[in-house]
Every structure is written in C-alpha cells, then in structure tokens.
Amino acid sequence: MALTRTKISKLLITPTFSKMQRFAFAFVRGSGRCFRVDPFRDFASSSPFSSTSAATAVVPEENGSTVFGLVREYEDYRRNLYGGLTHKALLVDAVGTLVVPSQPMAQIYRQLGEKYGVEYSEDEILNRYRRAYEQPWGRSRLRYVNDGRPFWQHIVSSSTGCSDSQYFEELYNYYTTEKAWHLCDPDAGKVFEALRKAGVRVAVVSNFDTRLRPLLRALKCDHWFDAVAVSAEVEAEKPNPTIFLKACELLGVKPEDAVHVGDDRRNDLWGARDAGCDAWLWGSDVNSFKEVAQRIGVDV
C-alpha cells in the first residue's frame, strides 16, 4: 500500500528516532557536509564556518534501509499522483547551489582594495568579515533591502578598514558581472530545459539584493526560470516561509506540489518545509541538477 507523507511522518515518530533525527531527517540517502554561502560571504576558504554548516543527519543503521525504502515508496506514490512526476515545481537556491563565486572573497577584497590603501591580509579580511556579517544588522530587519548598498557598505568597510566610496562601488559592481560567478553545475541549462518541457515549473528563491536579476542575465541563465523570488523584493529572507510561498504563488502551484533544492540546512531545508514544500539538501541529498531531475521523474 502506498504511503503518504502523513504516514511516513507517523512512522518517524517512534522511540528508535531521536527528536533531532526526526527533525533533521531530510529523506537523505547518505551523509555529507553542507555549505552556507551568501553574496560577498564565505568565499575565502573551502571550509564552511557558518553555524548552520553541519554533518547531515544519518538515520541509525538498523532503521536506514526501512526508511529509505519508504522514501522510494513515497516518491513512487507521488509519481502516480502527478502522472510520472513527484513534483509540479522546482525551487532553486541561488548562491551555493545554482552559482558560486569564481574567486575567494578575501582575495577580491584585497586585490581591488590595494590601490585604495587596503593593507589587511586575506586572512585578516576574512576574520573581520565574519565578525561583521554575524553581528545583528540594526538598520533594518532585512539585510538585503532594495540594492543592499547600506548593508554591503558596512560589511566592506568593516572587513577592510576602507570606507572609500569608489572602492565600494568597484567591488559592489564586480559582483554583478559574470567574472565574479560561475555555475555550480555546467549541465544546469540542459536539465532545466528538460524539466520545463516535462511541465515542471522552475523558480529561483534567494536571499539576495536586486542585483540578482542582472546577474542571472549576465550569466545568460535568466531564461531558464519561470519566476525569481528575491528576498529584497519579497521583503522576507529565508528561512521565513513567506519567500517560498511567494515563489509558489508566482509559479501557480501549491507548496505541497513543489520541492526546493538548496545548500543551507536552516535557510533552505527547514525554511521550505515550514512553508509546506519538500526540500533536498544540495551536496548531500542531491549532487547535480541531473540527479534532481531524475528524482522528480524527468530523464535528461
């Protein structure tokens, strides 16, 4: 007998699963590390430092095969429900999932800042950046308001000790160009085309300022998506469910008909599930967009 999400949830509420294991259970098929990356952030090192970076929850061995079997059964149930597909829509995180910086942040801050008198080493810039970014942003409840300039001016000056407006503008504009970013998955365009041909609606859901749209155009990937939900425009940042609900509204689907893919456990997995969507962790549950498409039921 096919199992619905409710039945699987009931099964997970058993003495063999701890509270944290039930809470963090992500329909995972293995373990791995997740990386949280934000614009201007985390780019100086390959090791994550965000408090949300953690080992993927692993189901106890004695329960693993049972749970993963139930996951496969649940996905088969959804395919039968939606004519061969598990979901009607795919929501995709931007930074860390769709795109990543081409060079470490501290390296760029240092290189562009030398002519403006920046003397800190890359390590010093990174450490100062971390402290500034992790402090509460008191100017607004949102970091990214409109173009995000006030927030990023604070971050740049705190990281480098340089408040030169020309330096900030050069750095700010650099992160709107194709030089600053590249696609995580070079096959992404082919996969999104196949998904949309199969009837799956696709949207970007990102904590970003208004530079995201011109950045997608610069990377020549804006036409891959049916909608873009940017926190600066929606006035809600992940993990707030509002931004996921807005994306679903733009796509014309119910939250339970969508799956979100992102690299941050708190912002992407927990935020999407609070909105009623399914969610898969990039780099753990799925490692390529081809794999995402295959799980949905679309061959590429």
Reported as a single tens digit per residue, the pLDDT across 213-259 is 999 999 999 999 999 999 999 999 999 999 999 999 999 999 999 99
Token pair belonging to 136: 């509460």
**8-21 core/surface letters (b: 16 or more CB in 10 A; e: else):** beeebeeeebeeee
Q: Which of 292, 207, 201, 198 is nearest to 254 (CA)?
A: 201
Measured distance CA(170)–CA(175) in Å, rounded: 9
In this prediction, residue 73 carries a pLDDT of: 81
Bridge partners, residue 213, by sequence: none
Measured distance CA(283)–CA(65) in Å, rounded: 21
Residue 68 has pLDDT above 90, yes or no: no
Measured distance CA(106)–CA(224) in Å, rounded: 31
Reported as a single tens digit per residue, the pLDDT across 181-217 is 999 999 999 999 999 999 999 999 999 999 999 999 9
C-alpha torsion 247→270→96→135, nearest 10: 110
Reported as a single tens digit per residue, the pLDDT across 132-173 is 988 887 767 778 889 999 999 999 999 999 999 999 999 999
Higher pLDDT, 296 or 53: 296
Q: Cα–chain-centroid distance for residue 260?
A: 9
Bridge partners, residue 286, by sequence: 282
Helices vs. strands in the chain: H and E counts, helices first: 13, 7
pTM: 0.77
